[in-house]
Amino acid sequence: MLSISDAQKLLDLSLCKGDKLTKPVCGVTIADNMANMLEDIDAVGNNLVDTDGGLGSPTIRIKKMMVSGK
C-alpha cells in the first residue's frame, strides 16, 4: 500500500494554468489523503514513465489538493 509520505518521494509536482504546466514546485508537503486525490484525478497523460524500482506512472492532473510549503 502506498502512503502519502511514500508518494511524495516519487512525485514531480508542477503548477498548472489551464492545460499548461507553468513551473515546477519543490519543498511542498501534500496535506490531503490518498482517497481524495484519486477521486480528484481529472486527466491522465500518455507518457508512461518507469522508475528505478520498476513502477511506472503517466502524468496525472488532480483538480484540487491540499499542500503546504513555499
Domain ranges of the chain: 4-69
pLDDT at 51: 67
pLDDT at 2: 47
pLDDT at 40: 92
Q: Collapsing DSSP states into helix, strand and coil, what is residue 20?
A: strand
Q: Give the other-Cβ count within 10 Å of 60's Cβ.
A: 13
- Alpha-carbon torsion 70, 59, 10, 1, what sign? positive
Question: pLDDT, tens digit, for every residue of 3-52?
Answer: 555 555 556 777 778 778 888 877 777 777 888 888 999 989 888 877 66
pLDDT at 70: 62
